[in-house]
Structure 1
């Protein structure tokens, strides 16, 4: 606890210098990988296994983006001061974070659309007049580079649910909205680390 307090004290006193020092330490990148692993295991263990919520096409894409973040952190953690590893890891991390945010926003839009249609139908409305149809989901996902992840790891990456159909919520927020929050933290943290790296790299 003392070390954490001292670390934040250094951040307040000299933010640029502290971020430059932190991004060259292994713990920061293992923390990023650990956060991504937590999200992956939560999706598989809590939502898919415990709640029996089948993942949809967009869900497995979000999992893929989290795997990118996980491996990016591990790549950099091999030797954080190595710029070749840092460039490769940063590129993969930013891809995972930005693509994951885009997919989370798309999933949230499909969630809102699906549940708005449910409300219309429950009230005896006209599905087509409401602009119905929902978001089409495929059971044949297409991952970057043509990776057949749904064949290699079907439990993790084979979609079997319908996009936007989940009814889970916590404190008024759905799963897609919590993903948006998680990726927002990733963007802030990765942005700070990137700033520290570029600041040190210029020197």
Structure 2
């Protein structure tokens, strides 16, 4: 029996005890950090460098949340059984995935309104009747705690694009929609292991 098959059998037979065991293993949190790192490198390498798509204000906020997920996993991976590190890491991870989801939904809305405006204007419509521009955003980002991320790491966090103006799509979904899917997966994975940790604390 493979390790994966045994893991799923254990999970189906005793979910909470199995999750409590999993969340104490370093590989799980390194996997979370690795997934966040993949998203960050994809944004920088594929979208920004290869496709030459400049990041907008909300884009850099989304990158910030992914950076928080990366560090949250690394913090927990230092010693997964340490309650303090686990609390700090989980708090940072939950902040990042919830805030990242909110930013992604905002970006998707701006993308839709911006492209709807383009369609109206192409047909000779009225700019004001169409609701103005959907892509207005700032080139001076404001990060949590006043962190000057755009000054420390300008290539990664300095916005130079317009919110909602990208035309990239894959299988009918745009970049913002894929971000929503990614955060939904993070939440779906983080919720059960958090429940497993709570179960472990209650049974100590």
What residue in structure 2 maps to residue 21 of structure 1? 21
Q: Tell me how far 1:200 sits from its aligned partner.
A: 0.6
What residue in structure 2 maps to residue 116 of structure 1? 116
Deviates further, 142-151 or 129-138: 129-138
Q: How many residues align?
A: 203
Gaps of 5+ in 2: none
Q: Deviations over 1:139-179 (max 9, x none)?
A: 11011111111011000000000000000000100000000
Q: Deviations over 1:97-137 (max 9, x none)?
A: 00000000000000000000011011111111111222421
Q: Tell me how far 1:49 sits from its aligned partner.
A: 0.5
Q: Deviations over 1:63-119 (max 9, x none)?
A: 000000000000000000100000000100001000000000000000000000011
What residue in structure 2 maps to residue 106 of structure 1? 106
TM-score calculated relative to the size of structure 2: 0.97
What residue in structure 2 maps to residue 82 of structure 1? 82
Q: Deviations over 1:1-29 (max 9, x none)?
A: 92122211211222111111000000110
CA distance in 1, matches of 2:133, 2:170: 27
**Alignment RMSD, CA only?**
1.0
CA contact (8 A) 2:113 2:133 kept: no
Q: Secondary structure at the match of 2:161?
A: coil
Q: Deviations over 1:165-199 (max 9, x none)?
A: 00000010000000000000000111011000000
State how 1:3-82 maps to structure 2 within 5 Å: 3-82=3-82
Q: Secondary structure at the match of 2:193?
A: helix
What residue in structure 2 maps to residue 180 of structure 1? 180
Question: Does the alignment pair 1:148 with 2:148?
Answer: yes
TM-score calculated relative to the size of structure 1: 0.98
CA distance in 1, matches of 2:53, 2:13: 46
